Every structure is written in C-alpha cells, then in structure tokens.
Structure 1
Amino acid sequence: MSESPTRPDRVCIVGAGPSGLVAARQLRDAGVAFDVFEKHSDVGGIWDPANTGTPIYNSAHFISSKYTSGFYGHPMPEHYPDYPSWRQILTYIQKFAADENLYQHITFNTAIENAVKDDDGNWVVTAGGVARTYRALIVAPGVTWHATSPTFPGQDGFTGEIRHSSTYNHASEFTGKRVVVVGAGNSGVDIAADAAANAEAAFLSVRRGYRFLPKHIFGVPLDVFISTGGQLPAGVTLPNDPNELIDALVGDLTKYGLPAPDHNALASHPIVNDQIIHYLAHGDITAKPNIAQFDRDEVVFTDGTREQVDLVLFATGYEYRIPFLDEELFEWHQGHPRLYLNIFNRNVDNLYVLGFIEFADAAYHRFEEMAQLIALDISLEGDRKEQFRELKRTHFPDLRGGMNYIDSPRHANYVETYTYQEALAKVRDQFGVEPVSERYTSRS
C-alpha cells in the first residue's frame, strides 16, 4: 500500500449510483471539496447490468412512475413511458451525471478496500492500494448487493438448481423448465410473471398474505393518482379505507390460491404489480405456500403438496452491509444500522450513510433531501456545528407517524414518507436552509 498526500480538506463519497450522485451535487453546491470512488466503470449503480453483482433483470421497470421518480430539476423525458425500463433509467442517470458535470469528480473501477479513523479523527480510505485521508466519509453503497437465502430440509440433496433471484437476468432461463419463485416482493412477482409467460410450469411460493397494487387507477399512474388526490370518473366512488380500496380494485386474492392479506395495506412496502394477478387468473402460474422441504427432484410445500421442479429462485431480499467499515462503528437492529434520520452516525461525527432507508415513495427526491443535510452538517462550524452534533446525539423523532409496520428485517428502518419529510424540513428550518425543489438550479 502506498500513501498519497493527505487531503483533510476533502470529503470521500463511496458509490456513484443515484444516492452517491445527489450527494456529490449537494457537496459541490455547498462549496465542499470531495472525491467519489466507484467500483464500476460508469455511474448508475444497480441499473447497469454490466455492473458485476447487480440484481437487475431484463424485464425490470420502475415501480414508481416517471412523473415522481426523477432528480430535482431534471424531469424524466416526456417520451418515456409511465413506468420506464432499466435501460431508460440507466440512460437518464448517466445524462444527469453528465449534465451536472459530475463525471469529473469520480474515480471509476476503484473499489474501497477499507476505511479507518486516524488519530486526528480523519478517515484514511484505501482504494486501489492507495491510502488517502479525508475529513468526512459518505457511504452510498446501495442495498441490493448482498443476497440472503433461506435453507430448508433436504436442500443439499435437491437434484434441480437453486439460486438467488439476484442471479436472474432473462426470461429465456425459464424455457422448458418447471420453476418455483420464492418471495412476493416487487422483484419476486416481476420474475414470477416472467416465469408464468415462459416456463413449462410456474409456481409462486409465499409465506404470508400480501396486497398487490395496480400500476394504474382509471388510466392514471398509481403514485400520481395518490399524490393528486385522485380524480374519479363521474359517478364512481371508492372506499376511503386503504385496505378496502385496494381489495376493491384488485379483488379477492384467495380465489387465486394466495393467502388473504394478514396486515394493513400501509403496514408493508407496497408491491406494485398487476401482471402477477393476470397470470394467476389465467392459470399460467400457481400460488403455493412456503416450502417445507426438498425431496430429491421435488419441492414439498407446507400444505403437503409437492411438485417436480427444475429451478428454484429465492427472491428473499438482501443484507445491509458496508464491507469496508468496521461493523462496531454502528449500532445494529435486525441487520440495519441505527442512524439519526437514517443518515447520521450518532457516535461518529463525520460518518454518513445515504440510501439505507425504506419508504413508500420514489427515492431520488428523498435521497437529495437527505444529502442536503449531510452537506449542511459538513459545512457548519462553531456553535452551529455543536448544535447539529447535539441533535445527532439526543434527537429521536418518530419517523413512522404512528404506523405499525410488519416486524421483519425489510421494515426495520421503514419510515412513513410524509412524517419523514416533515422531520427533514424541521432540521432545515432550524438551520435556515431552503428546501430543494424542482426549481433547483445547480452551481455546476
């Protein structure tokens, strides 16, 4: 390892996916010097299938619409469909980075090997065998890189193929096969729909009852319909209760063999997919309960049914990990670091995590609002710096708005989006910071 001259006037950002890019824009506009390191050869994070380890698959699209999903000041192109594909999202992210002149700040093909504090409290960041010293560290590593998979009795003796959905790429992988997809999250039901259309036989294994939201309501994208209050056709009325509303729009899921939803509609991350209902209704895929065990070439389910299967895909989520940092720097809960506002390490004043958060909302606006507060904290001095430091130590706002989310690792750091936005706004107001808006003009 070699050492370059120390750079204690600069900040290190790790990752050039969407969250890393908005962090870069906010630091630049705050006049903070910084460097960005990205292990891949371009920006885009998971949305670039050439990025080794990405879980992106050929049929992937946004589950939020183009109208709510863009970066501040950079609306998605008008010619994009309501729900852009991964190709369009990647092109959009790359154009954002180019238009904002962010490429010049990024060192590509350079993974961070480790980052440790020195005696002066600065960060010594080692990348490509070179150690550099920074006054603050922002990690924006993404949350879908470290797959988690369950184990079942008989799994080692299964004669078929078992892998995580993060390895899935194209529907042609299902041709001529009998396939079980385990898990009904957004990627799980997307992939299950691919299997329904292409496999010899397809099965969707779920442990619990979920609600599946349609992507359009009366022809309007779901998120636009909700955010605008929903303009209904003349003579049409809908229930006010979210459970009743979704159940009325989608119908009784138990008639497709799925278990009845076992939680309130707002208590879980939304699953936005009506394709899977189409395929269930047409008999192209069969709903199954959880797996009980594997038996040679068969999968045995908890209801006692069994199916001969060639391929099992576990769409069972991901671990939150920052491999280059000592885990003891954080307090962990259900595999998630506990952070002030899901951003700030409460005990390490110059360590920030951007993107380790879940909410029922489009992400890029929220990420930039979070990044704005990071830039604020890094820029503060004297009494105002101490004031922010005290907030990080002692302020424990309710970010859930009284919601009782499902008790699962996925929901361990879940926040109610409007409550969360209000919490960020209160901190901005306390320090006299104007909110980011669509009229935002960068100093690029």
Structure 2
Amino acid sequence: MTSPTPTPSPLPAETAGENLPVCVIGAGPAGLAVARALSAQGVDYVHLERHSRVGGLWDIENPGTPMYESAHFISSRTVSGFSGYPMPEDYPDYPRHDQILSYLQSFADAYGLISRIRFDTAVSDIRRDGDAWRVTLADGSHSRHGQVVVCTGSQWHPFSPEIPGSYTGEVRHSVEYRSPSLFAGKRVLVVGGGNSGCDIACDAARTADRAVISLRRGYWFIPKHVFGVPSDIVGGKGSFLPKPLERAILQPMLRLLTGDPTRLGLQKPDHKLFETHPVVNSMLFHHLQHGDISARPGIRRADGLTIEFTDGSAEEIDLVLMATGYRHRVPIAQEYFGDEQHPDLYLNCASREHEGLFGVGFIETNSGAYHLFDRQAHLIAAFIAGSRRGTASAAEFERLRRADQPDLSGGLHFDASPRHRGYVDADAYVKYVTKLSRRLGWPLEARGPEPRRTRDRLEAAV
C-alpha cells in the first residue's frame, strides 16, 4: 500500500543569478538518477513529472507508455541497477516490468526523492531567458532556473512507416500494444526485429490464428542465457578485451548456440556482431522451430489484406503491428536539442551549444542503460555544483563540453541506419567517463542510502 504523497514546495519565485534552482523534467529512471545525484551534491532543484507517480514508461498505467504485459528487462538484474542500490537478489534474472517499477519506486523512496516531485505537472515549453532558462507549465505558469535537465525519455514518439500499396487491414504501432488478447482470432504480421518486436511476435505465436514476423535484414540474436548464466554476465567477462577481439570470440560461439538462421526463414546477418543494437531473445527461435511463427523479409507492397514480401511470398494479414521504433523527440525543447534521432549532446548528456541544458535518457548503446544514466547524472550534478563554486574542474568540463570529440565506438563500426547515428559502445563510454571523472575529482557512483535499504521499503513501494 502506497503512503500518501507529500505536498511539494511551490515553484521558486522569479529571481536572477547563477544560483537559481535546477529544473529536472521527468521522474522515470533517468530523472530519478539525476535527482539523487543533485541531492548528493547539495544542489537545489525542482522536479516536475506529468504523471501521478514515478517510473516513467515502466508504469503500464502511464498514458502513452510503450509498456506491455509480457515485457521484461533485456539486461539482467545483476548489471542493471543504480550504483549503491542493486536490484533485490530474489528478483529473477530478467525482471518483469512491474518489478522494475517497484524497484524504481523503492529507489525514489530510499533516497527521499518523492517529496521533492511535483506530480501531475506537465511542462509545455522551455526557453532561454537571459542568463537562465524559463520553464513554462501546461497551466501557463512559469519559473526561471539556472539549468534544466530533460529526462522525458526516448520511447514516446513512434516511428511508423507507410505500407506501400493499398492495405485495407488494421495497422497499429507497438506503442499501442498491451496484451496478447489483441491478436485473438487474427492473422498477425509484426514488422521489425528489435527486442520489443521479437517479444510481441512471440505473444502472437501463442494467441493469433497465424503469426508472421517481417525483418528487412538479418540480425544477430543473443540468447538470454548462455550455459545457464545471463548472457550479459558471460559477455561481461570479456569486456576487458578490445571489442574486435571480444567479437572474434563471441561471434563463433553464437553461431554454435543458435545455428543457421536461414534454416528458420531468417536472413543471414549482413553485418558483424555488435555493429547493430543487440537483440536479446531466446523464444523467437523456439517458436520459429516449432512453426508457431513464420519469418518473412521486408514488405514489397500490399493489396487489400494480401501483403507481398520482397522474396515474392505473400500472406493474408488482418493486423499489422509496427514494431519500428521511436524518434528521440523532445517536444518541449526540440529547437535546442536539434536532431530528433540523435540530439547533439556532449557525452550524450550535455548540450554543446546551449549552456545549462542537459538531457539524460537519450543514449543509444549496447548495454543496460541504468548504470549509464547514473554516471551521466553524477557528471552533471558535479559540474553544476562545481560551476556554482567556480572550481577549476567545472571550468575544464565547460571547455570540453564545447570542443571534446571522444571516440566512444570501442573500435566498432556501427551500422549506418538512423538509430545508430551517435551510438556508443557501453564499455568505451564507461571507460572514458570514469577516466574523466577521476581527472576532475568528481564522484563516479553513489553509496547505499542512509538509512539502509530494506526489503520492507521495496514492498511498501508496491
């Protein structure tokens, strides 16, 4: 049972100067990480969230979330928690969406973040206002802030390509998908080979009259477990190696584990392992092997309910579900963030062009995201705190923000698709940020909360 939400303090009055409070927008995983880091640095901030509770997209009741009933984390709990606050040991290897939500609620409670959040408070616009930022709410009120950290997330604005021809069946994007009951009695085509697309196709395999998945290209599919251990833990054992060498070891292993994908109707990967976002899924191959799902290449055209694919095959389809990804839109400040697919942010978190503007949650990488959000949050908080004290380390970061162009590829050549523009290798990213933080004398991660976290806290947050 959730305790009553404390009444937050009002927005600050309009004042001038560099010591105006920071504004954190969004109370999902990224926003919570930022709030904790600012608190640890003693930086005053205002925290705004349009929904009625924390969790962001992991709250399936949050309007517009892409969450669905069968969703699980694709990185294992062992490597997925925030620093100083690991996920409970009795969580499964890959927690369900409701367990992730409970973890986030518990995290916010343990660090005293909830009382600082103004819930049901939507932001309509942010704008540069002299030496500060003006944040305008949906109700028309506004306030000025020294810095703004946008943590609104990257999976709210679906990308849905047109189907060539004249398809007369039902078309939906995966952002609308919640339950396999949607597929009952229908012939279903899932378009897209990302992690959500594969999950949803497996739901269709168990519910639909016929389930088909369409992939424009071949991908490397990584099983969730290798030798009974989560695959990101097995892969992590080799992360000290240069990425090309690690790939030379893992790529043949994957071929042995999964076999020839073309035998199941999938296309052979046209790229090397790690060059596209990893697809971590064990069930798709299972359903393909049992005939529960049929694999097809890209769509050529449609005529009525008939969809023809690029190999000449055709299917009668009642429902097309587009699992074709999202644009990283920032509607409240798109003019400052620029490219919808890849905002130009230093270390994927600090605006190069606009002083005092930050964004956490827009990083595209090949690893679990929470530990990266955490490092970005500590980096931003230390910089803001240092700027207000006029430290040399803050001045050095300010110089780097404008001019530094680090190679965060880890020696990999990422795919040229829009999603992979600005993509980073997680190991290379952590290595660089760790080195930079140590050089500047800034904290790398957080310690556990005071007082200690307990199982009672987690259960109380549910």
Does 1:392 find its partner at 2:398? no
Gaps of 5+ in 1: 231-237
Cross-structure match for 2:133: 123
Which residue does 1:72 correspond to in 2? 83
> Structure 2 stretches of 5 or more lacking a match?
1-10, 240-245, 453-462
The superposition leaves residues 247-266 of structure 1 with CA deviations (integer Å, 9 ceiling, x where unpaired) of: 11111100001000111111
How many residue pairs match? The answer is 429
Q: 1:222 aligned to 2:228?
A: no
Who is 1:38 aligned against?
49
- CA deviations 1:339-390 (Å, max 9, x no partner) are 1111111121100011111112111111111111101111123362332211
Match of 1:113 among 118, 124, 130: 124
| 1:239 shift after superposition | 9.6
SS in 2 for 1:67: helix
Q: Corresponding residue for 1:15?
A: 26
The CA deviation string for residues 61-97 of structure 1, in whole angstroms up to 9 with x for no partner, is: 0011111111212221222111110011111111111
**AA matched with 2:291:** G
Cα distance in structure 1, aligned partners of 2:156 and 2:434: 31
The equivalent of 1:359 in structure 2 is 365
CA distance in 2, matches of 1:27, 1:443: 18
In 2: Cα distance, 1:58 partner to 1:102 partner: 27
Offset of residue 315 of structure 1: 0.4
3-state SS in 2 of match to 1:369: helix
Aligned equivalents of 1:188, 1:339: Cα separation in 2: 28
Residue 259 (structure 2) aligns with? 251
2:152 corresponds to: 141
Alignment partner, residue 234 of structure 1: none
What SS does the corresponding residue of 1:96 show, helix, strand or coil?
A: helix
Aligned to 1:276: 284
Q: Pick closer, same or farther for the CA change 1:311–1:434 going to 2, 3 Å.
A: same
3-state DSSP class of the match of 1:265? coil
SS in 2 for 1:266: coil
**Normalising to structure 2: TM-score of the pair?**
0.89
Aligned to 1:336, what secondary structure does the other structure show?
Answer: coil
Identify the residue that residue 380 of structure 1 maps to in structure 2.
386
Aligned mates of 1:388, 1:442 — CA distance in 2? 30
CA distance in 2, matches of 1:23, 1:434: 13
The corresponding residue for 1:344 is 350
The Cα RMSD (Å) is: 1.9
Q: 1:152 to 1:240 in 2, by over 3 A?
A: closer
8 Å CA contact 2:330–2:337 kept in 1: the answer is: no
Letter in 1 for 2:407: D
Q: Distance in 2 between matches of 1:76 and 1:354?
A: 21
How far apart, in 1, do the equivalents of 2:338 and 2:247 lie?
Answer: 42
Percent of paired sites with the same residue = 45
What is the alpha-carbon distance in structure 1 between the residues aligned to residue 285 and residue 361 of structure 2?
31
Report the AA paired with residue 306 of structure 1. Answer: A
Name the structure 2 match of 1:177. Answer: 186
**Conservation of the 8 A alpha-carbon contact between 2:110 and 2:449:** no
Conserved 8 A contact 1:176-1:199:
yes
User: CA offset at residue 414 of structure 1?
Assistant: 1.1
After superposition, residues 56-67 of structure 1 pair within 5 angstroms as 56-67=67-78
SS of 2:178's partner is: coil
Q: Distance in 2 between matches of 1:16 and 1:56?
A: 16
CA contact (8 A) 1:239 1:245 kept: no
Superposed displacement of residue 152, structure 1: 2.4
Between the aligned partners of 1:443 and 1:349, the Cα distance in structure 2 is: 36
